[in-house]
Amino acid sequence: MSLKEGLEKTGRDVKDSAKEVKHRLIAEGERTKRDVLGDDMPLGEKAKSAVNELKNRGAAEIDKSKRELRDKAER
């Protein structure tokens, strides 16, 4: 791998890592919101929050998978 390719891969890895962390923080925020508000949160809001949590956890796993695939392809 050339220096240019290595720098490009590193850049993509950093970008995907940052996106993964962002998605995981949002997912945890949704979980915490439901835990804190508990029964005070209307059922519709709870459902929407749960969907947002799942969506963000999925997006985080996709970002993680992209990095892992790049690492495997490099070998």
| Both tokens assigned to 50 | 């749960």
pLDDT in tens, 4-36: 888 999 999 999 999 999 999 999 999 999 999
Query: Over the chain, what is the mean pLDDT?
Result: 94
The yes-or-no verdict on residue 75 having pLDDT over 70 is: no
pTM for this predicted structure: 0.85
3-class DSSP assignment, residue 2: coil
3-class DSSP assignment, residue 33: helix
Average of pLDDT values for 45-69? Answer: 97
